[in-house]
Amino acid sequence: MLTRTLARYLSWPIGRLADLLAATGIPPNVITWSALVANFWAGILFAAGRFAAASGMMILAGLCDLLDGPVARRQGRISLFGGFLDSVLDRYADLILFLGLLIYYVHVNRFTYAFLVGAAAAGAVMVSYAKARAESLVPGQGVGFWERPERLALMILGALVNRMPSALWILAIGPNITVIHNIVYTWQQTERGRRSLVDAQSALSIKPPRSQTNLRPTPDAPRIMTRSAGRGV
């Protein structure tokens, strides 16, 4: 949802910036790795308690995430590996950010918030996995709101306005609800497909042959002639 909104409102500036970067010949994978480096630095800033600075690095990393795809298209370097690499590094980036928050809250002895960080990290990983698996099993996209752009936007907002605990409560609950939603949705769709397959097989099934005891001899069947006892030839 947020991805489509950003694409609609930021398509022009992102396109112009992508044109400039594509003209330099910079490989798209370098931009993808740059996003991971920026998120790694943001994680260090979170661990140090510098939340506002960390949000700035997250914004820079998000800009790199928005640019690597358009740059690849303009340079004709779109590849399956590029998409795979982007997805893998995104998972590492998410875990690095949550690890930085975890270190900070453990250091200041706020163990309730540390637990929320763990629940939010689990939700972030599982919502991506559940959505990918759901899309591989049933047609269409997975369900739920809390995709990666929404989660990162809430983290950035919480860091900027110094309301990270409130953001963590939402991140600990919302994405995990989305995981449950994907589980229920996938079960419903797979059960519907299984029932449709069973109904189709039943409609095409052939009736079993009648028992041999019910068979009647046909007119063309050979007759067995017997000779009566005491009758001459």
- For residue 18, the one-letter residue type is A
CA proximity to 97, closest of 32, 147, 144, 35: 35
Decide: pTM greater than 0.85.
no
CB crowding 160-177: b at 16 or more within 10 Å, else e: beeebeebbebbbebbbe
The whole-number pLDDT of residue 210 equals: 57
Element (H, E) at 60: helix 51-75
CB 31 within 8 A of CB 68: yes
Distance between CA atoms of residues 169 and 174, nearest Å: 8
Amino acid at 213: T
Dist CA 222 CA 192 (whole Å) = 54
Distance CA 46, CA 44 (A): 5
Q: Residue 193 has what pLDDT?
A: 76
Cα distances (angstroms) measured from residue 35 to each of 1, 66, 192, 208: 21, 10, 41, 65
Structure tokens at 224: 């067995």
> Topology of domain 2-202, per CATH?
Four Helix Bundle (Hemerythrin (Met), subunit A) (1.20.120)
Q: What is the pLDDT of residue 21?
A: 92
**Crossing angle of helices 111-137/80-107, nearest 10°?**
160
| Pair 85, 182: CB distance under 8 Å | no
**pLDDT tens, N- to C-terminus, the chain (233 residues):** 665 666 677 788 888 999 999 999 999 999 999 999 999 999 999 999 999 999 999 999 999 999 999 999 999 998 899 989 999 999 999 999 999 999 999 999 999 999 999 999 999 999 988 888 888 887 766 677 888 889 999 999 999 999 999 999 999 999 999 999 989 988 888 888 778 777 787 777 755 555 554 555 555 544 444 444 444 43
**What are the domain boundaries of the chain?**
2-202
